[in-house]
């Protein structure tokens, strides 16, 4: 099952990144992952680790629950 179908996480991640006008490179550097890895998160082809989810939430100033689509 693709990540996107499970949670909508890829869509939310991309929307957050685009709304803040942040490049893949900047976000990948912050998370200490490659640009291609981050792109795979946004495409729903790879699941991020819990540590990466926390870093992403911190970067965007949102909760991990919000990022993962939990209410």
CA distance 30 to 28: 5
Q: pLDDT value at position 2?
A: 45
Residue 4: pLDDT above 80?
no
pTM attached to this predicted model:
0.85
Q: Are 16 and 48 in contact (CB under 8 A)?
A: no
Mean pLDDT score of the chain, rounded to an integer? 89
pLDDT tens readout for residues 38-62: 999 999 999 999 999 999 999 999 9
Structure-block tokens of residue 59: 């970067």
């Amino acid at each position: 099952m693709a990540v996107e179908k499970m949670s909508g996480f890829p869509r939310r991640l991309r929307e957050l990144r685009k709304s803040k006008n942040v490049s893949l490179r900047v976000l990948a550097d912050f998370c200490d992952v490659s640009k291609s890895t981050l792109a795979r998160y946004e495409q729903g082809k790879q699941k991020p680790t819990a540590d990466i989810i926390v870093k992403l939430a911190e970067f965007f100033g949102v909760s991990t629950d919000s990022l993962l689509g939990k209410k």
